Amino acid sequence: MRRALQMEDNMARKKIIAGNWKMNMTPTEAVALVNELKPLVGNDDVDVVFCVPAIDIIPVAEAVKGTNIKVGAENMYYEEKGAYTGEISPNMLKDAGVAYVIIGHSERREYFKETDEIVNKKVLKALEHGITPILCCGESLTQREQGITIDWVRQQIKIAFQNVTADQAKTVVIAYEPIWAIGTGKVATTEQAQEVCAAIRVCIGEIYDEATAAAIRIQYGGSVSGASAPELFAQADIDGGLVGGASLKPDFGKIVNYNK
């Protein structure tokens, strides 16, 4: 019964597959890549997002016009405007045509010292401006070996969602990305990925309620490829993927069309 309900919820949630280009592609290269991938990523069953470097947002927004592709940013600052040299505000993103923003990617947490508190401020600010956060969480290899994966991820989620209302939370996309699986070619097993995504959904149910837990979309990220996508995305609590390396290649078309 529980399993049947879970599968019903799974079918009700539209899959979302987002590319994370990271620090790759000049504006010229970005437009060429969009033109190469455009014919490969048509699939009405899924939301398709290209999260691109800030300087590529405007040319990419232009290049995806008339397609199913939405544009996302890879980061955003949590202040409205002012003396924050080098930062980009939610208004700037919105005006440039951005619909999604990756927040709290493990690379930003590690190299740019983003804390859970900063991540929370960014989530709140993005929601305030009608930009959908793709909120990243995930454990290191050491944490997995110590057996604290679920505790760690639950803590990241609880802090990230502070002061976020249930109605807002329903619109957030969570990306579970085990750090040891990012860019390593070492994809988590479907059981590992499903276990943590299910635990995240339980955590959302505890913070809010069953309806919010059933509505929120949870992606898996970490070395997703055209080969691994079908099995991963068939899991009860996995609603798509956040894709790094493979999002820069035609393989992204296979990932988006995992159900064909």
Measured CA to CA, the distance from residue 221 to residue 121 in angstroms comes to 23
Measured CA to CA, the distance from residue 184 to residue 7 in angstroms comes to 31
Beta carbon nearer to ligand PGA, 132 or 212: 132
* 108 three-state secondary structure: helix
Name the minimum Å distance from CB 91 to ligand PGA. 25
To which H or E segment does residue 132 belong? strand 132-137
Name the minimum Å distance from CB 228 to ligand PGA. 10
Query: Does the annotation count 177 as an active-site position?
Result: yes
Beta carbon nearer to ligand PGA, 11 or 23: 23
To which H or E segment does residue 10 belong? helix 2-12
Positions in the binding site for ligand PGA (CB under 6 A):
20, 177, 182-183, 221-224, 242-246
Helix (H) and strand (E) counts in the chain: 13, 8
Name the minimum Å distance from CB 202 to ligand PGA. 23
Name the minimum Å distance from CB 241 to ligand PGA. 8
**Among candidates 221, 207, 214, which has minimal Cα distance to 237?**
214
Measured CA to CA, the distance from residue 10 to residue 236 in angstroms comes to 6
Beta carbon nearer to ligand PGA, 30 or 224: 224
Beta carbon nearer to ligand PGA, 130 or 183: 183
Residue, CB closest to ligand PGA: 244
Query: Does the annotation count 129 as an active-site position?
Result: no
> Could you say which of 79, 80, 105, 231 is catalytic?
105
Contact between residue 243 and residue 19 where contact means Cβ atoms under 8 Å apart:
yes
Torsion of CA 156, 150, 144, 249, to 10 degrees: -70
Query: Which amino acids are annotated catalytic?
Result: 105, 177
